[in-house]
Structure 1
């Protein structure tokens, strides 16, 4: 099923934070994210676009600076239809 396994990754956010010497703790302390959101970021969980917007406003960046699209590629060992 097309679109069923769209993956948005926050790996660019983690790189961005490291490059700009900003910690997750600092963002929690500043009220930008919650501790739960911090954990969910590391696990590449789903978030609303408003969350991405909040991060962009705080970091003064664009969405493409902090998220990336990773297309779904079926595992050759698990070539089954998920629709």
Structure 2
């Protein structure tokens, strides 16, 4: 199972909110909802989040 727990910590440390992801970076609100509920996202979305947050995939998700 995938957990996006590291994402929320990374976002907090970078000072980026879910509101900013949606309104400043153009991330689809449905994608943010999927992240909040630990549902699957595409590799493209993972790559985009890495670019936005300037981090590695390990800073966004972990396998449980």
Deviation beyond 6 Å, 4+ runs, structure 1: none
Higher-helix-fraction structure? 2
TM-score after normalising by structure 1:
0.71
- Mapped pair 1:47 → 2:41: yes
Q: Can you list the C-alpha shifts for 1:23-54, whole angstroms capped at 9, x where unaligned?
A: 01001112341111111111000111111001
Secondary structure at the residue paired with 1:52? helix
Q: Matches of 1:8 and 1:24 in 2, distance apart?
A: 19
State how many pairs are aligned.
64
Structure showing greater radius of gyration is 1
Q: Matches of 2:4 and 2:26 in 1, distance apart?
A: 16
Please report the RMSD computed on the Cα atoms of aligned residues, expressed in angstroms: 1.1
- Where structure 1 has 5 or more consecutive residues not aligned to the other structure, the ranges are 1-6, 71-83
